[in-house]
Amino acid sequence: MEIKLEGNGLGHRYGRGRGLEPLSFALSGPGVVAVTGPNGSGKSTLLRILAGLLRPSAGASTLRVERCEFERAERRKVTGWASPDLHFYGELTVRENLEFAAEARGLTGRSVAVREVVGSVGLTSRLDDRAAALSTGMHQRLRLAFALLGSPPILLLDEPGSHLDAAGKGHLVEVLTRVRATTRVVLATNDPGERDLAEQSIALAGRGLGDTA
């Protein structure tokens, strides 16, 4: 599958002070790339921009799958995004949350897709528990399951290993190993273990938000 992800002078500023310094890159084809950098250097911002959730204040990004270009508004259809900012409906169960997501996105074979994705992160036993009852680690697994729903050609994972126990991390590695041949994965992380899962890496320098010099 032809996958192209490009950034051209991509940057974003939150009010005063920089969020993401202008960045240019070109990624093509499947594979795993790690985005690293100090806190506040804009890793999450970059992923949000690529996911179409944020309009960058500078530059532009292009996303192409099989020669089809996806504008910001359409990117949710071909990207899976998981981030610490992603939260689920506490009063609904894991199954209900994911089936709602699948239904709204128009995925066929909903319950099968949900069961599959839940199985790959090891949450099957918690399917009928309310999302509010999940521990942080289990919540993180739910985020990964959500990103994987529908097997999107592009995965944008922001600190996917955070809060995961050994079993959880095992599932993560398993998933990445399975998809790396067909999916473009962008992994934002500071964890050296996760960084090693990637073939390439993009290092974000820059002041970020924390630096008030």
Distance of CA 63 to the CA centre of its chain: 15
Residue the block writes with tokens 């996303």: 63
Round to whole Å and give the CA distance between 151 and 190: 25
Round to whole Å and give the CA distance between 54 and 13: 11
Pick the closer one to other proteins by CB: 36 or 208: 208
Pick the closer one to other proteins by CB: 103 or 174: 103
DSSP summary character for residue 38:
S
Given 96, 116, 129, 191, the residue binding other proteins (CB under 8 A): 96
CA-wise closest residue to 101 among 63, 122, 131, 126: 131
Near other proteins in 140-159, by CB under 8 A = 146
Given 67, 106, 128, 196, the residue binding other proteins (CB under 8 A): 106
Q: Could you say whether residue 127 binds other proteins (CB under 8 A)?
A: no
CA-wise closest residue to 149 among 78, 85, 198: 78
CA-wise closest residue to 8 among 53, 65, 46: 46
Q: Which helix (H) or strand (E) holds 20?
A: strand 18-28
Using CB under 8 A, count the residues that bind other proteins. Answer: 32
> Closest approach of Cβ 15 to other proteins, in Å?
5
Q: Could you say whether residue 44 binds other proteins (CB under 8 A)?
A: no
Pick the closer one to other proteins by CB: 96 or 173: 96
Two structure tokens written together for 35: 């985005």
Site string for other proteins, 3-42 (x = CB under 8 A): -----------xxxx-------------------------
Near other proteins in 60-79, by CB under 8 A = 73, 76
Contacting positions for other proteins (CB under 8 A): 14-17, 48, 51, 53-55, 57, 73, 76, 81, 83, 85-92, 96, 100-101, 103-106, 146, 207, 213
